[in-house]
Amino acid sequence: MSLEMFVQNLANGITLGSLYALIAIGYTMVYGILRLINFAHADLLMVAGYAALFGIGIFALPWWLAFLLAVVITTLLGVSIEKVAYRPLRTAPRISVLISAIGISYLLENLGIVLLGARPKSFPRPEELVWNIQIGNISFLSLTFIIPIVTILLLIAVMLVVNKTKFGIAMRAVSKDFETASLMAVDVNKIVSSTFAVGSALAAVGGIMWSMQYPQVDPLMGVFPGIKCFIAAVLGGIGSVPGAMIGGFILGMGEVMLVGFMPELSGYRDAFAFLLLILVLLFRPGGILGENEVEKV
Amino acid sequence: MDSRKNIKRVLTIATLLLAAVVLYFGNEHLTRFQARILNLSAIFVILGASMNLVIGFTGMFSLGHAGFMCIGAYTAAILTMSPESKEMIYFMEPIIPALANIHWPIIPAILAAGAVAAFFGILIGFPALRLRDDYLAIATLGFAEILRIIVTNTISITNGALGLKNIPSVKELWVYWGCAIITILVLRALINSSWGYAFKAIRDNEIAAEAMGISIFKHKLMSFGIGAFFAGVAGALMAFLITSIDPTMFRFLFTFQILLIVVVGGMGSLTGSVIAGVVVTVAMEWLRFVETDMNILGMEIPGIPGMRMVIFSILLVLVVLFYRQGLMGTREFNWDWLLDKLGAGKKDKGGKLGERA
C-alpha cells in the first residue's frame, strides 16, 4: 500500500470513527441510566438526515437553520419516544422494554418507508461546509477535518456536563442506583428525559454529518450504524463517555483498515464489528474503560 | 380419574385424525394461494414455538433465529437440488465437487437442515450463553448476521449473493403441517419433562436453579440447540415453499416477525405461539390490501407500500405496553380446561387454563 493510500485510509478511518463515537455516546448514556439498548436511537440519525434535507431542499432554509431545526425535531422525538414507549415499562422485565425499543425502531423505519419512499434521496451538501483540500498528492474533503473536530468539541461538552454540573451529578447518581437517587430528591423522570434529550441531540448531529459525508439519506440508513455504534459503546465500556469515543474510533479505524489492507476480506466488513463485540464480551465484558463490576454484598 | 384420562386420550387421537382429514381435503380443494398461506402459517408456528422455547421457557433473550433459518434453508436447498440445476445456477464459481452430485429426498433433507442448524446453534451457544439479557440479545443478533455474511461470501457453496433458484417445490399441506404438529408435540413433551422443568427454573431464577443442582450451562445449551434445530427445519420448509432463497431474506427483520408471534402469543405458552403464528401470518397476508390500490365507491385509493410493517410495529409496541402477557400468558390449552367448560367428566381436578406454565 502506498503512503497516499495509507493516509487516505487513515483519514477515512478517523472520519468514520468520529461518527461512530458521536452516536455511541448517546447509546452509552441511555444504557448507563436505564440499562436499555435504545434500538430507536439509530433511527434518529435518519430522522435528522431527512429533517435537514427537507429544511434545505424544500423550505430553502439556510443550512445552519435547517440543521438546528433538525436537531430540535430529533431531540423532541427522542424525548417523546422515552415518554411513550419506555417510561410505562420502567418496572417491567427488561425483555419487555427491549421489545418495545425494537418495535419503535421498526415503526420509525417503516413509517419512513411509507411517508418518504424507500428509495435513497441525495443530500444537498452546503457549499460553505464541503470543499476539497489538496495536501501534496492527496485530496481531502473538508468534512474529514470538520467531523472529528465537531465530535471532540461535543465530547468535551458532554464530559463537562456529566462531571461538573448538578445535572451531571444527578445523572450519575441515577445510573448508579435508581431508587436511592429518587430518595435523595432527584427527579428521576426529569433526569431520564434530559439524558434522552442529550443523546438524541448527539444522534441528530451525527445523522446530519453522516448524511453529508455519504451524501444520501434513506429510511434504513440508521440500521447498520446503529448496531455498530452500540458495539462501539460496549467496546469502550458501556456507561463510559470517553469509552464510547475510544470504542468508536477503534471500530471505525479497524473497519476501514481491514478493507484497506485486506481487500479480499471486504465482504466480511460488517462481520468484523460483531466479531470484535463477541471477543470483547467474552474476554473483557466491562469493555476497555468499563468498571470491573464487583458484586456488592 | 381414569375415565377422564381415557377421554383425553381419545380426544387427542380424534383431533390428530381430524387434522389429518382436514389436511387431506385441504390439499385437494384449497386454492394455491390459500394453501400457500396455510403452509406459511405452519412455518411460522414452528418458528414461534421454537423461539418461545428459548425466550419464553428458558428466559434467554436470543435474537439469532433468522441466522439458523438461513443455515437450514441453504442446507436443505443444496441437498435437494438436482445436479443439473446446480450446474446451471452456479455460474460465478462452480459448486464444490463434494456437493455437486448430492440429490436427497425432501424428508431427510429437512432433518439434515435441522441438524446442521443445531450444530451451529451449539457452536455459537458455547461462547454466547455465558452472556445474559441484552448482551446475549446483541451477541446472538451479531452471530446471526455473521452467519448470513458467511453464507453471502462462501460463493462456491452457497452461490453468494445471487442466492439459489429452482429448489424443489413442495406444495403438500401435510409436509408443512406434519412438521408443525411434530414440532409442537416434541416441544410439549420436552417442556413437561425434567429438562423442561429445569428450563423454567432457570428462567424464573438462575441462582436458585443452580443451587438446586441444575446445570445452568448444559440446559441453556440444550434449549438453544433445540431451538436452532427447529429454526433450521422451518428454514428448510421456507426454501421448499418459495423455491428461491438468497441471504438478504434472513435479515434481522425475520427474527422480528417471529418475536412478534412470541410476544403476541405470550412468552412461555406453546398454545399462544401456535395461535399467534397462524393469526399473525394470516393477518399479514390479509393486510396486503392496504398495500394494493383500492377502489371504494368510485374513489381510487392508492396502496401504500410498507404500511403493513407500520401496522405490525405499532401492534408490537401496543401489545408490550398494554397487554404484556400476550394472548395466553404462560398458560396452555389442555383438555381438562375444555372438559370443565363443557361440564363433562368429574370436576374434581382443578386442571384449569392457567395451571401449567
Instruction: Dump pLDDT digits (tens) for A201-253.
Output: 999 999 999 999 989 999 988 888 888 898 898 888 888 888 999 999 999 99
Residue A216 · residue A121 · CB < 8 Å? yes
B116 vs B242: CA distance, rounded Å: 21
Q: CB within 8 A of B319, min separation 6: which ones?
A: B263, B264, B326
Query: Is any Cβ of chain A less than 8 angstroms from the Cβ of B303?
Result: no
The ipTM (two decimal places) reads 0.84
Average pLDDT, chain B: 86
A152-184 per-position pLDDT tens digit? 999 999 999 988 999 888 988 888 888 888 888
CA of B250, closest CA in chain A: separation in Å?
Answer: 15
CB contact under 8 A, B314 and A107: yes
Q: What percentage of chain B carries pLDDT values higher than 70? A: 92
B45-76 per-position pLDDT tens digit? 999 999 999 999 999 989 899 999 999 999 99
Q: What is the pLDDT of residue B1?
A: 55
CA angle B283, B265, B197 (to 5 degrees): 155
Query: Is any Cβ of chain A less than 8 angstroms from the Cβ of B287?
Result: no
Q: What is the pLDDT of residue A273?
A: 86
Q: What is the pLDDT of residue B352?
A: 46
Q: What percentage of chain B carries pLDDT values higher than 90? A: 37
Query: Is any Cβ of chain A less than 8 angstroms from the Cβ of B208?
Result: no
Residue of A nearest to B319 (CA): A100
Query: Is any Cβ of chain B less than 8 angstroms from the Cβ of A231?
Result: yes
Query: Is any Cβ of chain B less than 8 angstroms from the Cβ of A62?
Result: no
Query: Is any Cβ of chain B less than 8 angstroms from the Cβ of A227?
Result: yes
- Chain B residues in contact with A35 by the CB 8 A cut-off are 134
CA angle B244, B247, B252 (to 5 degrees): 120
CB contact under 8 A, A278 and B149: no
Q: What is the pLDDT of residue B121?
A: 94
Confidence band of A295 (pLDDT split at 50, 70, 90): very low
CA of B284, closest CA in chain A: separation in Å?
Answer: 15
What 8-state DSSP symbol labels residue B58? Answer: T
Measure CB to CB from residue A99 to each of B145, B150, B263 and give the nearest one.
B263
Query: Is any Cβ of chain A less than 8 angstroms from the Cβ of B133?
Result: yes
Q: What is the pLDDT of residue A156?
A: 93
Three-class secondary structure assignment of B214-230: CCHHHHHHHHHHHHHHH
**DSSP 3-state of B301:** strand
Across the range B223-230, mean pLDDT stands at 96
Q: What is the pLDDT of residue A297?
A: 36
Residue A63 · residue A128 · CB < 8 Å? yes
In this prediction the pTM is: 0.85
Of residues A215 and A281, more confidence is placed in: A215
Measure CB to CB from residue B316 to each of A103, A111, A268 and give the nearest one.
A103
What 8-state DSSP symbol labels residue A89? Answer: G
A25-68 per-position pLDDT tens digit? 988 888 888 888 888 998 999 999 999 999 998 888 899 999 99
